[in-house]
Amino acid sequence: MLTDRELLKRVADGHQDAFRDLYDRFADRVFRYTVLMLRNRHLAEEVAQETMVAVWKSAARFKGHSKVSTWVLGIARNQALRLLRKEERGGRIPDIPLVTPDPSKQIRRERLVAEAMNELPDAQREVVFLTFFEGLSYNEIAALQEVPSGTVKSRMFHAKRRLAEVLT
Amino acid sequence: MRTCDDIRELLAWYVKGSLANEEMMAVSAHLAQCAACRAELASTVQVGLALDGLYRHLPASPEDLWNQVTKQTHGRSLGSFHVGSFLVGFSMGARWKRGNVPIQGDLRVMGRRMRLFDTSKKRSQRRSA
């Protein structure tokens, strides 16, 4: 199986089958990340679409300074922030929780964490997502959020304390 | 010398294994002799487990998203046909993109797709030659 970098190289060379494979690896991750950031599935779908199109168009510009996943998520983040600024100017406010707990299927602990995640400030929720779901280091998150690594650690500290509180 | 506060703010990344080697070793060494930080580690692991469960409930990308993407990257589909089964099959499709009609043919074996031909590539290769 090709690595992400090898796959992206083939995408840069115009191979559509490689793009499909790259899409399969990243589409869900990008969509979940943008749902988390925008809290609106319609806007998240729009951003995920723009992100994957941007990946196809700019694959040749990937310099290899980061992991491919970090690069893709960075594109998604920029697209989401751009859309968020536009939507806020237009007065549209994101309108759904990150996840809608289903009491019949989810155990109590997951439901409590879902509710606590919904209530976290956006920047803290993003740090939790990128750390626990995407496995990014604090330095990679700092680069994505364009803040010092100490800020990322502080955001995680406060978010983790809140999440741990609801579990005790 | 790292303090307990220094160590505790790294525990989320320690649990996920995304610290640099030197930091991983420093945190491990500290945990070996600090019961309070081990308790904090246990709390972090609990949070991580609960989040793992939550992640399974986050929505997957919409099924139509790929079609929306390829309308912009590969052009609009004019039609396609598929023969065979999941084990072995052949599919062929044509698209409309910027006045051209590239045609692609794929062989599918056990769900994996292999491109047999793509007329858009021949055109672009001729252009670059």
For chain A, which ranges sit under pLDDT 50?
Answer: none
Q: What is the dihedral of CA B114, B118, B120, B126, to 10 degrees?
A: 110
Interval B72-122: pLDDT, tens: 887 666 677 788 876 788 878 776 665 677 777 778 777 666 777 777 655
Chain A hits for B73, Cβ within 8 Å: 16, 19, 52-53, 56-57
Closest alpha carbon within chain A to B14: A137
Amino acid at B83: V
Mutation pick from B44, B46, B52, B54 vs chain A, by most beta carbons of A within 10 Å, is B54
Q: Is the pLDDT of residue B29 over 90?
A: yes
> CA A43, CA A46: separation in Å to the nearest integer?
5
> Whole-angstrom Cα distance, residue B49 to residue B58?
15
- Using a CB–CB cutoff of 8 Å, tell me whether A141 touches chain B: no
Q: What is the DSSP string of B40-51?
A: HHHHHHHHHHHH
The reported pTM is 0.77
State the helix-helix crossing angle for A68-89 and A138-145, rounded to 10 degrees: 40
pLDDT of B129 strictly over 50: no
Angle ∠(B73,A2,B77) on CA atoms, nearest 5: 25
pLDDT, tens digit, for every residue of A85-100? 887 766 555 555 555 5
Is pLDDT above 70 for B63?
yes
Domains and CATH numbers, chain A: 1-96 (1.10.1740.10), 98-168 (1.10.10.10)
At B111 the pLDDT is 64
| Per-residue pLDDT, B128 | 47
Which among B57, B65, B73 has the least Cβ separation from residue A106? B57
**ipTM computed for the complex:** 0.84
